[in-house]
Structure 1
Amino acid sequence: MEHITLLLGIVIITALVFDFTNGFHDTANAMATTISTGALKPKVAVAMSAVLNLVGAFMSVEVAKTISKGLVNEQGIQPEVIFAALVGAILWNLVTWLVGLPSSSSHALMGGLIGAAVASAGLGAVNGSVVVTKVLIPAVAAPIVAGVAAMLATKVTYKLNGKIGQKTSAKGYKAGQIASAGLVSLAHGTNDAQKTMGIITLALVAGGALAPGSNPPVWVIVSAGMAIAMGTYLGGWRIIRTMGSGLTDLHPQQGFAAQTSAASVILASSNLGFSLSTTHACSGAVMGAGLGRKGGVVRWSTATRMFVAWGLTLPAAALVSAGAELVMRTGDVGVVAVTVFLVASCVAIWLISRRQVVDHTNVNEAAADEAEQPGVVTTAIAAVAVPPAAGTTAAVTDEDLKATIPAATATPTAPAAAV
């Protein structure tokens, strides 16, 4: 193994923590529709997804290369910059999980990396063409392409139902859902696990432990695959609820069409090295499947809040990470302050989530749309957006976050989630 300094070790551990949050945050992408239609029991579904995420992590390194070699210039990037990027990404993942919104872990990571790099070395540290061609364009195209494909596939499946018995077709589509959910999980491993591989590889290059232009070492691939698999097994139950029944009511035919369409888009993007958001692709496919069934509807109030969260992901993570990088410029005291701030914020969010629990026993219960208020995401991220001043260890408390996220804690009809 390469020579690892203490700071570099902290960065690597933090990257694996991000990978873990990515796992439970994105479990819904693969398994929400399978769970909501009853094709698989919740715990069986997340266990299957975890195994296939691990397998997928070993299938390609193209996306990892985009993160480690293309998004930012390796020259001048220090481990502190990468640590700051991970702070913003982790906090955005946890805040959006707390309020039950499917947002992109991938874009949170890339937003954090861009914000920290710009704060450290200026705009020249970011490769703008890569951001546009391999991040922004796929971010817009993925939900549209997956949504249209899922809508057309749903229409076709319902037409086929006239030629076979309804009961027989329902059983067949549930079996198809299991297969397609496995394909999405595999695709998620090939795309999202690689992002952590890329960020760790970038940290190793920045710390002088790897030569510039190196591919991820084997131990990086293994550890990233294990971290995302363990996070996936825990299950992000509240986001599963939103994806499975909050956007639309899905029948097995729709679930099969949505997952197959999303998996196709994700796998294609992985082969091309596009750092695609699996959340965007899967959410778009779910909405397309909802529109494809006659009489089907999409709950646009929930979808609108989700779109707002998507738009805020890059800038919000970038803002937090830029602030963290500026604090850490003061030296060891700043690094300690940001570390304490991150740990305290994570603990506070977890404590709030425990007030009302959503788990595998109640994930399919209907969630009230009115529980999620507009502005919750922005007020929540504001509570953790500014790291403490250098030389302090002020922490965000349970009471601080409770005051800023009333909708996530005060509505008894829409329980907050626990991992």
Structure 2
Amino acid sequence: MRPSALRVGASLLALTAVTAASASASATARPGTAARPGTTWAAGWAAPVQRPSEGFEENWASTGFADQTVRQVVRVTGGGTAARIRLSNLYGTEPLRIAGATIARTASGASVEAGSLRRLTFGHRGAVTVPAGGEAASDAAPVRVAPFESLTVTLYFAEPTGPATFHAQAYAKSYRAEGDHGADRTGAAFTAGTHSWYYLSDVEVTGGTGRRGSVVAFGDSITDGFGSSYDANSRWPDLLAERLAAAGTPRPVLNSGIGGNLLLHDSPWYGDRAGARFRRDVLDKPGVRSVILLQGLNDIGFSEVDLPTYKPNPQVSAEQVIAGYRELIARAHARGIRVVGATILPFKGAEYHTARSEAKRAAINEWTRTSGEFDAVADFAEVMASPSDPLALDPAYDSGDHKHPNDAGYRRMAEAIDLDAL
């Protein structure tokens, strides 16, 4: 019999826009907004932002938008009676002008539920300018949403935006229309689509009941959901949130994965290194109580393949990856946040599997399991391994590239997490 899959270790911004790094872990609504003064905001949904780039599927990040409306659908894992959004211009080189914005409950595709559409304001104004490198939060909007319901956020860009801060791999469709269609109930005008999110970094909610602390899933493409079905919310963080709710312990689960992300180096294509983005993507999210860390595969793998996007790709040792883990653990513990360490999945047959990268994975996973430095361990490597070859993904869980799970594999990962460890 295999060992247990989890071992416990020893141990608004209304008129003003500020840098993402200075975002508060909790915020208070201004008087006159839809939420009362002193309102505590909870996480509903979030996505880490990236530099404009191309690759994978076609996206609109490099060209940006001009006299166009973008409609984006997100599923919240925490509900409430009012919501607000956060917009990021972190990688913009010019101020970003949002000429209008709305929020509504999603009907289907780009259409929204009748009677649910609300215009968003920023300091009681219908437009906002977000400085280069900054972010802005809307006022509260009275929109009721239950956990696991979807909200549609629509942004109108009257002026050219330039290249867009975005999240590349959303595994959910976003829509674009020519002209101003922020108040449309139907999706008829939204004739173009991509699978990325643009400028939208957070949806926060208030007015929910029985809240517990948020969980952040922090990692690379396996956390982001590569290989999962589009518009199905079948990434493992989504399924973990469903497990928590079914167990009677509902709480928001935020997905802070970026495809291709590295623990130790910034990438033009795959986001800032884990240590550089850990504050804004984990520590500064509302009410975070635990983080699940699954990172390091790309650090040990990129150096084995000479591809333009796999840069930088220096040889990285197991000891360097472990040192990166220790830094994140210390920073989380300093904020009273528990850290669950996840073992790196098998990847035999993938393009950067070599004897050298496999030896590094084995050493990193052994340290994760036995060091006692994590508060708990989710042994994804064990539960996802092929019964006939522990170095390879179980074929039943393989999306086809021998390193990313399919929907069934992501469900198995969510099942492997001890809910009490969170």
User: Would the TM-score normalized by the shorter structure come out above 0.5?
Assistant: no
Is the strand fraction higher in 1 or 2? Answer: 2
**What's the TM-score bracket when you normalise by the shorter of the two chains?**
under 0.3
Q: Which has the higher helix share?
A: 1
